[in-house]
Structure 1
Amino acid sequence: MSTASAPETFDSWVGHDVTDVVKGELKFEPVPVKPWDEDDIDVKVTHCGLCGSDFSMLAGHFFPLLPQQVCGHEIVGEVTRIGSQVKDVKVGDRVGIGAQCDGCLECEWCVKGEEQFCPQMTFTLGAPYPRGNAKGTFSHGGFAKYWRGPARFAIPIPASLDSAEAAPLLCAGATVYSPLKYYGAGPGKNIGVVGIGGLGHVAVMLAKAMGASVTVLSRGEAKRDEAKQLGADDYIPTTKDAAADVKGRERSLDFIICTINPESLPASDYMTMLKPRGTFVLLGIVPKPLELSTMGMVVGVSGIAGSQIGSPAELKELMEFAAKHKIRPWVQKCSMDNINQAMADYQAGKPKYRIVLVNTDNGGTL
């Protein structure tokens, strides 16, 4: 396929200034897209999840805003164009794109199939491409009518998964699936999940489907019933006195996945619940430095670690696992034309637990 035949702009919802997201003033306008490479695909976007990282990017917390910042990294849609080097994707396929859309494809991590660790990885929501005709240009996300990028990072969506329910799996799902798999969630394991939100509610469902017992920690009693609906075996209502909250539960959990990022996190108190050689796994970036009890870590033989997204192979595995075990994220659908209202609702904490934007004129259904 010739470069000349590929569109040079896609209509997108754009942030120009860090205050745009606060004011609810993303603008709909044409945006120059990635220069075409023969390993690329074009995707007609039908659905895109709304994630906290989109807000962080639009607020300038990660990097300075691009002149035209297009976020959205839980993308589902139909392939409309493929390059001559694309082998595993065809026009008409339904695919998903998560938080990573490229890498160098040459480093040890890319060669091993762990592209998420590539030192030149390209985040989908506004980061430089490291190679090809697009080298030095910046990625754009799925708050748009169409998306373009390397087919290697497009994940097939099983037929039994609804597009709106598949979208959150591409980031929220991948972010929790990767550590659940790595740390061995399964029969006989007791797993803690801190926070019931976009990530936490998927973590509970996945851990249960893997055969583990799950204890949820969430602020107050508000989400006890919902945690039980998701499959949680136990629920700890947290307060400002974390030490008291977990008293009597020492050495009860094999590992803990922390999905929240409050101003301060009582990690040492929560880590008393870990069994020897247990791990407290951070998925959110906490603004303030953590105060950790090294005595507790040494005596308890416990540790703390971070985790991020999964590889394309893990994402494919997750989609198949979700289809097999009927994992269905809790979503609220909203027309992408109403993206500014959706973002206001998200910031007000209204969704349970993920807003998915729908391009109805591209075939998405509300």
Structure 2
Amino acid sequence: MIQVGIIGGTGYVGAELVRLLSNHNKVHISGISSVQYKGKSLSSIYTGFYKINELICESQQDVVEKSDLIFLALPSGLSQAIIEKAVQKNKICIDMGADFRFKNEDLYKKWYGRDFINHDLHQQSVYGLPELNREHIRKSQIIGNPGCYATSVELALLPLISGNLIEKKGIIADCKSGITGSGKNLTESSHFVNCNENFSAYKVVNHRHTPEIEETLSNVCRENVKLTFIPHLIPINRGILSTVYTTPKDTIDLKSIYKKYCEFYKNEYFVKVLPLGEVSKISNVRLSNYCHISLHYDEDNNKLVIISCLDNMIKGSAGQGIQNMNIVLGFSEKEGLAALPAVF
């Protein structure tokens, strides 16, 4: 039984990791850490775990020592130093934050205000989007789990970008996310009175997932991909809907594009390309590790529109982290993630 630890186990991502890993047949949660709740039981923070998981929050060092693989569910900037020490102890590390999502240090510094503290570690790490980097993930000791918005937009665009079917500039990603995407710490925008019965854009053309998406897609096609990314907050707990507007290089036949998507994702269990005429909806992926993609063509304006939906806490975060864990450990990718979406 593989021993798995979670550093930052009491935030939304950490708690979701605990919930999902509790249904995994090949790993055991060896420990969780929390600075704020050290010494307290997980069930005293989340009553849903009462008499199911009574783990006591301990120090980061204790979790590292007793674990074979470690999830780091921490704010950006806090994982690098921990991973540097963990790798020296031959631990596998999956960073749920942004510290290992970038290969370009200048981009990371511009958007996160920090430097790489160990360049060798970043050379060893891999961007953990399974549908793109599965073989590299399989051999890596450090995996940077993608951002939730980034996952949704990248999965929407990968078949088009890799097939050189659209213009690489002028892409627009109009995305909506539930409140959990803001994390557990309360902010002005996540106050009930500010988000209930409301729908608002935030960090307009200034969101940190923009450079992550651009770098990932640019690396795929070896051209400079640019997009306008606008996130919105909607008053639901979880879920992301991304409507992505692209310009085809040539006049297209939607049926042929649909076939290309089906071919591209034919071996991807967690990505479902919906039949033409269907529209992706958050409700159809909620509480699952699935991503639904639907395709639409505005012939009058030559715009190919892709709608991508996923649960931001699962395929957009904890579930994808576990999918990466399954890959690196040689398990079935479905292990612990086979739950079907909620039907209502």
Identify whether the pair has TM-score above 0.5, normalized to the shorter chain: no
- Rg comparison, structure with higher value: 1
TM-score, length of structure 2 as denominator length = 0.29
TM-score normalised by the chain length of structure 1: 0.28
